[in-house]
Structure 1
Amino acid sequence: MAVTVSFSSCLLCFVLLLPVLCSSQDTFLCSRATYYGSPDFLGTPTGACGFGEFGRNVNGGDVGAVSRLYRNGTGCGACYQVRCTIPQLCDDAGVKIVVTDHGEGDYTDFILSTRGFTKLARPNMAAELVAHGVVDIEYRRISCQYPGYNLVFKVHEHSRFPEYLAIVVLYQAGQKDIVTIEVWQEDCQQWRSLRRAYGAVWDMTNPPRGAVNLRFQLSGDDSKWVQLRNAIPSDWKAGVAYDSAIQISN
């Protein structure tokens, strides 16, 4: 359902630069969006979230950098519905994007891939929308969906077996954030926290020998913990992604 936004409400949103409800029914927030150029119109493998090639191709390349929503990396991997508010140019449904990078523009919360930005437009209106450069939008967080994919733990390429382990979580479904990751230290019988190195990359020096048992905590009122045995094998290798055999629900 299309939402009509008055000029005065969006002007107030622009002046205060704070999230203001555009519709109490759909809980969309007012902001602005622009786009970045890339040769293939997709994402970038060098984004601040540390996703690598996943950040370029995930969601078909409908990805974006965010500023305030980055939240020191906690916002990496979150999904949003974004739609612009120029009636004659903008599609009512907008585009669903995945956060893969950090960036700031002209009072924008979103800097979308060119592919994602053009999907804001009605059919045959993409070129005209792109010519605007920056557009007023409304957005809301939605559940990420990866049909056919489990949660994956990728050992970051900068890891060095066995003295330094860095991991990044890929294909996380739902709307919750991972706020803590811990590994089980068998020799002292306690959980040991990983450090958020940057973006979605978590790391530790001198990781436990043997298969890595880990648990992670999700955001929300229940602060749910998810525990996994042998999440990463004892002979882990840098650059290799390991399937968790589970997926996160809403």
Structure 2
Amino acid sequence: MELSLDHKNSMLLLIMILLVVLGYGQDYICSRATYYGSPDCLGNPTGACGYGEYGRTVNDGYVAGVHRPYRNGTGCGGCYQVWCTTGECTKEGVIVVATDFGVGDWTDFLFPAKAYTKMARPGFEAYLLSYGVVDIQYRRVPCTFRDSNLIFSVHERTNYPHYFAITIIYPPGVYDVVGAQIWQEDCKAWRGMRKPYGAVWDMENPPRADLRVRFLLSATGNVNDATWVESPTMITAFWNSGTTYEVAVTL
């Protein structure tokens, strides 16, 4: 029995909806990727995001230096699914965390060898390495190696009481941190923090008391459609570098 045009259109619409629900309707970007060598095949401990050693081993070492996704550090900590378009590659590709700025031969992703070869089908890793640069597709995805909370830590260069800095080490879902503020109790007002580089936010001469911090989150990177979330935990005076805090996020 031949279907009518209305039935065909209805079935096509249903298929498109199902594809979006299953995740195949997500936008992806065409680009290129390459890799660099390192003694242990892990990431760069002096990366531009300010993660230090954490930037080498987070996500089991599946990390990347990124170009366009870096966005002056706003993209630090974001997760991306990347797959190459040659016959040696799997359909799943690799999910990496942006921990550094990096660009090669017109590339958006600069992988350590471990992450680069993860895109290959078993037994084809050497072939992929021989190319040096491959065409890819990528998209932003929620990170899954932790829970859905925003996680930040007190930066190692914090110097009480003159200088306070934090590092956003895990943004929630596909949200970016596009602003950070500290409560000034004597003025009854929020003071904006500066983003000097990467995922680091800082303030000179912060309040000399327990600190209340809040963050501006955006799914598009635009402050005009962003939402403030406040940390439920006060950062105690005489801050200790390396201390980690979590902020539950429900948007």
- Secondary structure of 1:75's partner? coil
Distance across 2 between alignment mates of 1:247 and 1:115: 32
Q: How many residues align?
A: 224
- Secondary structure of 1:212's partner? coil
Q: Is the 8 A contact 2:62 2:96 kept in 1?
A: yes
Q: Is the 8 A contact 1:174 1:249 kept in 2?
A: no
Deviation at 1:150, TM superposition (A): 4.7
Q: Which residue in the other structure is 2:32 paired with?
A: 32
Distance across 2 between alignment mates of 1:249 and 1:81: 24
- Secondary structure of 2:130's partner? helix
Q: Which residue in the other structure is 1:140 paired with?
A: 139
Matches within 5 A, 1:54-73: 54-73=54-73
Deviation at 1:237, TM superposition (A): 1.7
Distance across 2 between alignment mates of 1:207 and 1:216: 16
Distance across 2 between alignment mates of 1:165 and 1:172: 20
Q: Which residue in the other structure is 1:170 paired with?
A: 169
Deviation at 1:149, TM superposition (A): 7.9
Deviation at 1:249, TM superposition (A): 5.6
Deviation at 1:172, TM superposition (A): 2.4
* Structure 2 counterpart of 1:223, one-letter code: A
CA 231–151 in structure 1, closer or farther in 2 if over 3 Å, else same: farther
* Structure 2 counterpart of 1:48, one-letter code: A
* Structure 2 counterpart of 1:157, one-letter code: E
Q: 1:223 aligns with which of 215, 221, 226?
A: 226
Deviation at 1:231, TM superposition (A): 3.6
Moved more, 26-35 or 56-65: 26-35
Using the size of structure 2 for normalisation, the TM-score is 0.84
What are the superposed Cα offsets for residues 115-168 of structure 1, whole Å, 9 maximum, x if unpaired? 110101000111110111000001111111233585332111111111101110
Distance across 2 between alignment mates of 1:139 and 1:116: 14
Q: Is the 8 A contact 1:177 1:218 kept in 2?
A: yes
Q: Which residue in the other structure is 1:204 paired with?
A: 203
- Secondary structure of 2:239's partner? coil
Q: Which residue in the other structure is 2:41 paired with?
A: 41
Deviation at 1:52, TM superposition (A): 1.1
What percentage of residue pairs aligned between the two structures are identical? 50
Moved more, 143-152 or 220-229: 143-152
Structure 1, gaps ≥5 residues long: 1-23
